[in-house]
Amino acid sequence: MEDFIELIKDENEVNLMPPLTWAYIGDCVYELYIRTKLVEETKLKPHSLHIQSIKYVKAQAQAEFLKKIYDELTEKEKDIVRRGRNAENHHLPKNSNVQDYMYSTAFEALIGYLYLTKQNKRLKEILEKT
């Protein structure tokens, strides 16, 4: 992912972004990671790939994963998670409860933040735990 897109914002600019912006990017990064992993590790057809990827990217799965790794996060990462979880989001979840949705948004914010601040090694460490 390092050479995928050249990011031009520095960490100070990323810190000033709304946490929902981090989550917006994090959602894409995580879904791309899961889809790529499934393509590399399986021989599934596209519909089956989609069904399998949903198991990872749905709000409940992301919330559970975040809770599983939370104690391994740095204080800075926990702060990013807190900001993502507490971000005011007017979108109501369709297929999850509000708490799972808040924690999945927090997870996506963390992934997006790490991506946007070019912390690729740490991003990879976290993603590989899925």
CA atoms within 13 A on the CB side of 80: 28
Residue of 3, 10, 27, 100 marked catalytic:
27
Q: What angle do CA 51, 54, 57 make, to 5 degrees?
A: 160
Q: What angle do CA 60, 94, 92 make, to 5 degrees?
A: 100
Q: How many residues does the chain have?
A: 130
**27 annotated active-site:** yes
Check: CB of residue 9 under 8 Å from CB of residue 35. no
Q: What angle do CA 122, 126, 123 make, to 5 degrees?
A: 35
Structure tokens belonging to residue 79: 């702060």
- Provide the annotated active-site residues: 27
